Structure 1
Amino acid sequence: MDTFNASNQILFSAAEKGQTAEVLLRFVASIGATAVHVTVGAPPLVRVDGELRRIRDLAAAGDDRGREAADFLSANPLWGAVVTPAAAWRAAAELFARPEQRERFEKTGIVRFVKSLPGVTRYLVTVFRQRGNPAVVCRSLGWGVPTLEDVFRHLPEAREAAERLLAAGEGLVLVAGPAGSGREATLAAVVDFINGASPRHVVTVEDPIRYLHRHGRGVVNQREVGEDVESFESGVRSAVESDADVIAAGDVPDAGTADAVVAAAEGGRLVLCAVRAASAEEAIGRVAGLLPESAGSGARRRLAAVLRGVVVQKTLPANGGHGPVVTAAGVLPAVPPLKEALLDGDAAKMAALLRSGTVEGAFPLERALAKLAASGVVDRAEAESRAGDAELFWRFLKLY
């Protein structure tokens, strides 16, 4: 098995010299791909228009992208071939910017960090161990900070609902979505909105820091887990001590963090949290279940008292498979009937309320999916497959 030497490098052979991971990432950016996967036993895969493709398959097309892919492989045949263990170790070693990143990978088997290519783009890099070798996934972040207009590009009603939700100066707002749905981008867009709307002290706790905020009317301090703070829990608790008006946490991984974010909201702060969940009710249930005394009503009572609402989102391929993925997002304020269902521990009642479309100020995910399908932005079958309630999806579809 390959290992890293003292200089954190594995040397290239004469034939492979110049065929670096950076060269691959520059190519990925040049063709407008959003991600690249490097795994032993398969050729590198790039995500184009929402689908993973082999570079050789792209090169077989006769369009401009295909010609660029063909030219790239002609100069860099290594990245068209099946990835060897040596190539995977070399790519990982090249991407590590600091010894601590390598050490974290060797200790835990996974590490995430941001790689900047000046003048090109920024990548969120994940290196993880599989079958004894590293696998590398690089996802494009771009340079700018996402805005609410970006997130709700085709859904102005949802954007307006989100802005109303964020107008409150305190409470807990959850940003929910499954893996790969762009929760962190939406959280960054929310921070950007708050940063431009009022002079407040915003503290983010992230792992890693994905988007770099500039100070707006207030101040944004960004803290990275493992670099600036020990954990999400310690980051949230220290933000309270730092006189934060707004706290944004990129994850709620454990009971300590759940307790910290609810306590911060109880103290009169606006707290924003990204939660991996497929629905709003699942996100609420997950946070409630992590809180101390989750077996009783104490945790639900604490959460109900501070919950302001949930933004829930999923991504879909653009209609026809061309163009960037589309975000469907719903916004659900925590109205009194929802809080009553939470207090009762009635998940079915929560789900029915959240999806009903009758809650004042709400824009359910099913309605967002229906509008995107009706306007031709996404395929109707794809939209229906993302709906938690297909019957409700079709009911909303008739409105458009």
Structure 2
Amino acid sequence: MTAQPRIAPLFDALLAEKGSDLHMSIGHPPMGRIRGELTPLREAPLTPPEMESLLFDIVNPDQKKQITEEMDLDFAYSYGTKARFRANYFYKATGLAAVFRTIPSKVLTLTDLNTPEVVRKLAERRSGLVLVTGPTGSGKSTTLAGMINHINQTRHAHILTIEDPVEFVHESIKAQVTHREVGPHAISFATAIRSAGREDPNVILIGELRTNETMKLALQLASFGVLVFATVHTNSAPATIDRIVNSFPADEQPAIRGMLAESLAGIVAQQLVRTADGKGRVAALEILIGGSAIASMIREGKVFQIASKMQAGQSQGMQTLDMHLEKLVAAGTIAPEAALDKAQDRESFAKTLQRIKPDFVLSEDLKA
């Protein structure tokens, strides 16, 4: 029987509370992010010797060499059959530190996630670029895993994932799933994406579009008839388009606009919001679906018009983040204050709240 790692009690405490992240910092108690809030998992602060003992116990010699020489390490760790964690070791003012993000061992389906029907339809596309965006910890990976799971359950296809590190592990069901990890299996995202085209994929999941090189390669693959999923750290659909275009030099931007207009299937921008009962969090989604009108706005650089197109495109499944927040408040799923905190147009949303929740009291700064 394999000995339990020394960090096991902290993992168990986090999992027992259904926490999403474990934060470890010298001089502070280990903290768990539980329902969005950082909470101590014990009273005693971590000491430097204890920190080294806990963290170095679960890495191999090459990983230990990397953290001590390069001061940074990312890897995925399997905690028996209980959970997988995405780990980041780094150094800060107090010394060695780490954050572990829980990767659920069970891939949640789109039904489990209660995603709108239009998200399922995006997963059923045969080609194009689908971007899932949002800040760190907003559930992007979980939504993407649900979409990949849907394809895996319903389609005889080759799904290739390129990640750093691999998060959700999909067992091949109807589809053939190939997981590639940057580091052990490829030098970089760019080299992995370049060779992806030669690996006969129908679907490619790219963990993150970090550089304009990876963005361009993803756009090319999408235009070649492959369904490409990727994540970007942006808060809205229009901001995502701007981020991609603006990451290129001015002379390349018209060509990139053309490629993006041609291949964009959809953007799902999400935020996690604490539920009204305080027991969990729910995803609020902004959804943009590609089409001829959106394509011409992208081509002509009229991204500022996209928000009104999303408001008018409800029949196609489109919605702005504020529209979804309004629905969640009206259904009693989230509290008005939590919705207002995430709203993109706070002043306009405050007026909406007063209409649907007349007893809601506005703060002074929003009273016009």
* TM-score greater than 0.5 by the shorter chain: yes
Q: Is the 8 A contact 1:237 1:264 kept in 2?
A: no
Q: Which of 24, 29, 34 pairs up with 1:48? A: 34
2:273 matched to 1:310?
no
**In structure 2, C-alpha distance between the alignment counterparts of 1:359 and 1:397, rounded to whole Å:** 26
Q: CA deviation at 1:132?
A: 6.3
Amino acid in structure 2 at the alignment position of 1:303: L
User: Alignment length, in residue pairs?
Assistant: 353
Q: Which residue number in structure 2 is paired with residue 256 of structure 1?
A: 213
Structure 1 unpaired stretches of 5+: 1-17, 57-79
1:326-341 pair list within 5 angstroms: 326-341=282-297
Alignment correspondent of 1:89: 52
Evaluate the alpha carbon distance shift between residue 393 and residue 305 of structure 1 in structure 2; reply closer, same or farther with a 3 A threshold.
farther
1:206 corresponds to 2:156? no
The equivalent residue for 1:265 is 222
Residues 74, 87 of structure 2: 8 Å contact kept: yes
| Structure 1 position 48, deviation (Å) | 2.1
Question: Matches of 2:316 and 2:351 in 1, distance apart?
Answer: 21
Deviation at 1:172, TM superposition (A): 0.7
- Structure 2 length-normalised TM: 0.88
Trace 1:108-147 onto structure 2 (pairs within 5 A): 108-131=70-93, 133-147=95-109
Structure 1 pair 349–363 and aligned structure 2 pair: CA distance change class (3 A): closer
Superposition deviation, residue 189 in structure 1 = 1.2
Residue 330 of structure 2: aligned partner: 374
Q: What is the 5 A alignment of 1:148-163?
A: 148-151=110-113, 153=114, 158-163=115-120
Q: CA deviation at 1:393?
A: 8.0
Q: Deviations over 1:205-243 (max 9, x none)?
A: 011111110112121101111111111111222111100
Quick one: structure 1 residues 367 and 294, their matched pair in 2 at CA, closer, same or farther if it must change by over 3 Å?
farther
Quick one: distance in 1 between partners of 2:328 and 2:251?
A: 38
Q: Are the counterparts in 1 of residues 132 and 230 from structure 2 also a CA contact under 8 Å? A: yes
State the shift of 1:395 in Å: 4.9
Tell me if the contact between 1:88 and 1:133 (Cα under 8 Å) persists in the aligned partners.
no
Counterpart CA distance in 2 for 1:214 and 1:176 is: 25
User: Which residue is 1:70 aligned to?
Assistant: none
Residue 338 of structure 2 aligns to a residue whose secondary structure is: helix
CA drift of 1:94 comes to 1.6
Q: From 4, 7, 16, give the equivalent of 1:30.
A: 16
Structure 2: gaps of 5 or more residues: 358-368
Within 2, Cα distance between the matches of 1:204 and 1:350? 30
Provide closer, same or farther for how the CA distance between residues 54 and 287 of structure 1 changes in structure 2, counting only shifts above 3 A: same
Percent sequence identity over aligned pairs: 28
Change in CA separation of 1:117 and 1:167 when aligned onto 2, cut-off 3 Å: closer
In structure 2, relative to structure 1, the CA distance for the partners of 1:395 and 1:295 (3 Å cut) is: farther
Deviation of 1:166 (Å): 2.8
**CA distance, structure 2, for counterparts of residue 168 and residue 119 of structure 1:** 33
Bigger drift between 293-302 and 382-391 goes to 293-302
Deviations 1:251-305 (A, max 9, x none): 0011211111011011111111111111111112222233566654111111111
CA RMSD of aligned residues (A): 2.4
Q: Deviations over 1:107-163 (max 9, x none)?
A: 432222222222422222221111262211112222111221233x2xxxx520112
